[in-house]
Amino acid sequence: MGLECSIRDASVTPKNDSLTYGCSFDWANPTDKAVTLSGCGGFCTEDEYEVPAGTATNPGLAAAVILNPPPGPFTFTETPNEWDAPGTPRIQINPFPGSKREVA
């Protein structure tokens, strides 16, 4: 399994992994509705992604690639809106892949 980023809350699996400059990943849709993601052009190679509905056992997946470097913004919209976290749909990108930096 490669990297997956949930359309519900932008969480990344596998756990403890992250999206990085130039990485490939799949948008993962665990809902029973197909979702269109728009406004992704500030961080992905495409501006819009059609993410199919998931099943009872597997999320729907749509392949994507992070720009290197991504100019931003890192926000996007969903139709229908299936975002289930506070705030605007937004991804986080780790600009220091492989780094286990400690912050004081």
The tokens for 87 are 């705030």
Q: Residue 15, SS3? A: coil
Report the 10 Å Cβ neighbour count for 80. 10
Q: Which residues contact 92 (CB under 8 A, 6 or more apart)?
A: 10, 18, 19, 74
pLDDT at 103 over 50: no
pLDDT in tens, 38-64: 999 999 999 999 999 999 999 999 999
Q: Residue 95: its pLDDT value, please? A: 81
Contacts of 96 (CB under 8 A, 6+ apart): none
Q: Is pLDDT above 50 for 16?
A: yes
Residue 64: predicted pLDDT = 98
- In the chain, where the domains are located: 4-92
Looking at residues 60-75, what average pLDDT do you find? Answer: 95
Average pLDDT over residues 18-41: 96
